[in-house]
């Protein structure tokens, strides 16, 4: 009898996703590192070089309709903030085994990051579905999304695991091994071990 593959949905960053750009390197690293035990979905989001929250959320609805059991979710940069907003605003009827947010902007946190379209709703932590593991990743010297954005998320998610990364990587073209380790130990409904 074949063992069911664990499902993982990866939502990429804004900007070009051609080879060597955007989240392309990170997505390839995730797929190759997790191997055959995981079914990794990496949809191309609409117009990534001119992203609109509404069209990205419509795409997410479509992706979630294809998922039949528990899932792990990874959002990179803008993909992380849109994924989180989607989870706060939509009814999700599947188990979320883990949510991993990499260098995600916290919209509305400072003057350079104001955009009502992407800003989380008031009281958003209470509207999230139940998530077994929430993990945040951010480089101390990220040149694109300041490290302070992770601090904003930590204030709202006291239960989150925060992975503070040395250096200035934002795109992680060479990969993010700590993410792989966290995904692999994130329990699905049938697993007993966790963080």
pLDDT (tens digit, 9 = 90+) per residue, 23-81? Answer: 999 999 999 999 999 999 999 999 999 999 999 999 999 999 999 879 999 999 999 99
Q: What percent of the chain has pLDDT over 70?
A: 94
**Residue 188 pLDDT level (bands cut at 50, 70, 90):** low
d(CA 59, CA 90): 13
191 has a pLDDT exceeding 70: no
Asked if 20 and 172 touch (Cβ cutoff 8 Å), the reply is: no
176 has a pLDDT exceeding 50: yes
β-bridge partners, 38: 6
d(CA 190, CA 195): 15
58: left (phi over 0), alpha (psi -120 to 50) or beta: alpha
194 has a pLDDT exceeding 90: no
Q: Look up the pTM and report it.
A: 0.94
Of 85, 77, 21, 87, which is closest to residue 53 (Cα–Cα)? 85
Predicted confidence at residue 83, as pLDDT, reads: 98
Predicted confidence at residue 68, as pLDDT, reads: 81
């Amino acid at each position: 009898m074949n063992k069911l593959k664990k499902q993982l949905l990866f939502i990429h960053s804004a900007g070009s996703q051609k080879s060597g750009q955007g989240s392309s390197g990170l997505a390839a690293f995730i797929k190759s590192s997790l191997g055959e035990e995981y079914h990794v979905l990496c949809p191309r989001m609409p117009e990534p070089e001119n992203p609109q929250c509404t069209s990205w959320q419509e795409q997410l609805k479509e992706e979630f309709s294809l998922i039949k059991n528990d899932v792990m979710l990874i959002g990179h940069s803008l993909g992380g903030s849109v994924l989180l907003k989607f989870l706060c605003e939509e009814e999700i009827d599947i188990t979320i085994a883990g949510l991993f947010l990499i260098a995600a902007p916290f919209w509305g946190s400072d003057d350079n990051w104001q955009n009502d379209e992407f800003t989380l709703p008031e009281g958003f932590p209470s509207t999230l579905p139940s998530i077994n593991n929430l993990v945040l990743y951010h480089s101390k010297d990220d040149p694109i999304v300041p490290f302070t954005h992770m601090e904003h998320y930590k204030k709202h998610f006291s239960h989150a695991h925060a992975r503070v990364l040395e250096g200035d990587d934002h795109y992680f073209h060479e990969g993010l091994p700590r993410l792989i380790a966290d995904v692999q130990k994130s329990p699905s409904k049938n697993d007993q071990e966790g963080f």
